[in-house]
Amino acid sequence: MRLTGYVIRKTREMVTVYWELARIVVPVSIATEALSRLGVIEALSPLLSPAMDLFGLPPELGLAWLTGLLVGIWGAISLIFTLVPVTDLTAADITVFSALLLFAHALPIEQKIIQKAGPAMVLTISLRIGGGMLYAFLLHQVLAATGWLSAAADPAWIPMGSVTGWPDFFFGLVEALASMFCVLIGLVFALDILERSGVMALMMKTLSPVLRLAGIRREAEQFASVGLFLGISYGGGLLIREARSGTVPPRDIFVACIFMGFSHSIIEDTVVVMTIGADFTGVFVGRLLFTVVASAVIALMIRSVRDETFFAWMFRGARQTT
């Protein structure tokens, strides 16, 4: 009976988190897909083409970047070699463009989840896009100055965009929601077991120095770690629950969300862009180092901001001692 009660209680907790995520993912996914099919994204992409010059990239990739910002990584990489022949791209081009995608993608969904945890949506979107642009610009300058990765791009896989109908889209959406449900229910139980067994404390002890360097305090370390490895949907989803319980201070939630925005799904997303020719050092090592430094700077700034300003412009959750 005690085990049954435990399972029921944890399942209810998970369902609450899942419902919050589903309420965001479904309408935003449909709206974004509709905009894409109506040609709105393609119509707006010329506005981003001049920005490609900052990163030494062909202007045609502006459409792929905007698609990535709104739809996600998969939508962007399916366009890259359609817009620009692989023979016209270098390994540096693929690495720099991949860096832009990794920092900021699927913003309508991911940042809506972050907003539910408390941080202001416009501010966090600006920080993700700005952080990605800064890192891509610095990476481009280093690569251009050293000649590193100047060889022709050599992708292991060239994705081709596929035109599908609305039934295929909805089938994929249901499939994604089912996968999210399974992952979340496993995650809730796994985290509780790891915490009760002491394994979580050991894992956090190992990761803690890096997270502390990034300005993330103990209360938010677990959720930042989940986001780092599994993605914003899961790390952010758990943070929503904790934010409502009041166990994690708002400023710590904010910094953890910024950290997750810069680096999340660190294994899966890195492998995806490496298959199209991105360099590991540029999209993994450099990205993590930048994330730690940038998050630390933002954490210092956030903790120096007056409560009135913080809760008026940066955080919309419950007000408490921070």
Position 163 scores a pLDDT of: 54
User: How far apart (Å, rounded) are the C-alpha atoms in residues 316 and 118?
Assistant: 5
Q: What's the domain count of the chain?
A: 1
Position 154 scores a pLDDT of: 93
Give me the amino acid identity at 234: Y
Considering the domain boundaries, does residue 233 fall inside one? yes
pTM across the whole model: 0.83
Considering the domain boundaries, does residue 164 fall inside one? no
Considering the domain boundaries, does residue 37 fall inside one? yes
Considering the domain boundaries, does residue 319 fall inside one? no
With contact defined as beta carbons under 8 Å apart, do 239 and 315 qualify?
Answer: no
Structural domain boundaries, residue 184: 2-152+169-314
In sequence order, the β-bridge partners of residue 90 are 152
Considering the domain boundaries, does residue 127 fall inside one? yes
Position 208 scores a pLDDT of: 87
Considering the domain boundaries, does residue 61 fall inside one? yes
**Residue whose C-alpha is closest to residue 108's, from 62, 159, 53, 40:** 40
Position 25 scores a pLDDT of: 79
> Which helix or strand (DSSP H or E) is residue 240 part of?
helix 232-245
- From the CB of residue 37, how many other CB atoms can be counted at a distance below 10 Å? 13
With contact defined as beta carbons under 8 Å apart, do 198 and 233 qualify?
Answer: no
Position 322 scores a pLDDT of: 45
Position 162 scores a pLDDT of: 53
Considering the domain boundaries, does residue 159 fall inside one? no
Sequential pLDDT tens for the chain (322 residues):
577 888 888 888 778 878 877 887 788 788 878 888 888 888 888 888 889 999 999 999 999 999 899 988 988 887 898 888 899 999 999 999 999 999 999 999 999 889 988 999 999 999 999 999 999 999 999 999 999 999 999 998 887 655 578 888 898 888 888 887 887 788 778 878 877 888 867 777 788 899 999 999 877 888 888 888 878 877 777 778 777 777 889 999 999 999 999 999 888 799 889 999 999 999 999 999 999 999 999 999 999 999 999 999 999 865 554 4
Considering the domain boundaries, does residue 320 fall inside one? no
**Residue whose C-alpha is closest to residue 34's, from 108, 85, 104, 84:** 108
**Residue whose C-alpha is closest to residue 161's, from 232, 69, 63:** 63
Position 161 scores a pLDDT of: 55
Which tokens in the block code for residue 232? 């914003």
Residue 119, SS3?
Answer: strand
Position 160 scores a pLDDT of: 60
Give me the amino acid identity at 207: L
